[in-house]
A and B are shown apart, each in its own frame.
Chain A
């Protein structure tokens, strides 16, 4: 019974933890402009993150090594450092976006400008990183984040024309008002939002934090294979809500206050309250994950002691680095830059950097020195290679498309 509870808890946290500000905003933007015609990208992205999160979790459990240690060992110092630079910058952008997301959600709840909420969000995130145990942090934010399910409930309450939605999803086409370039630009953004590299750093480091062994692999596989697809389903529900309410009304999403309109229309103030709670929890959880990820990547590259299972005094560089990252993120927000804009760029840059993260994982998962008899099977390798090609194409196409479409305008 206890075991079953553990499995349920793992799945629920994975669902709640899957959606962050990037998924929220990108899916709503896409839904309000392209309907469900990009839903297929979410499906591809979710399958990809399942594949690679599972792989990195296995590497961590078998070898006890987190992803970034392995990246440096396998790629050498130069490519490793370039990788660190890129990953770290994207992580910083994502931290900034998530803290901005917390503040924007609190503005929706209170009517007080988000700028005043930023210091509060910073302090709360840092306190949790400084003082709260890893497992509690994960479970609480994941479970509360689950209230984003209200998007799916709202979709039912809106009584949409299911046939039309399915039609958009299964026979994708670009509507007359939007350009083909923008369509593909947002396809890459959605892919980047679903496969963000920090999830892998966090997942593999989390496996070390929680001391996974080979026998825990089954549990982790269930979490990933059930939780992430359900998280992807939530993403599609976000897009569908926007497609049902905002697209016909001629509203294309540019702010978080527009993202919540369909849910308020469907479920009133109660649904709105649940939704805002969910957004705060999801962005808060993601802010924790991205901040930790930036600490993990730095510490693992340079070989510092790291991890929340150590007292801050026993991982001093790790903790100081995370404080610096949080302050840097807040400094960016203090310039008055629109957090939603930061979010939109962060998911596209994530897509650009994807090969840097996923190629080394694939290589190490095949290395018997690390993995012993737990190296990748043939089917996993074929899938991994197919995804590597997709990732590479998305990464190479991102910048030209960004220029050609004016960042999807």
Chain B
């Protein structure tokens, strides 16, 4: 499971696939103040990115992969 839900944080690991977007969206709807930890995430499918862009949760940790992090920052912090 690429997504693991803690009490207030969703932790993404490895690859967030296209199916995970739905799960992530549901969790973010239920937890409007939830945080997302992407530090162990190596790639996320664009659909997940859309969810994050629409929900704008607080990102508690950015991916370690610099290229991915750059794009995510561009999308989520501007």
Q: Do A and B come from one complex?
A: no
User: What is A's interface to B at a CB cutoff of 8 Å?
Assistant: none
Which residues of B does A touch, CB under 8 Å?
none
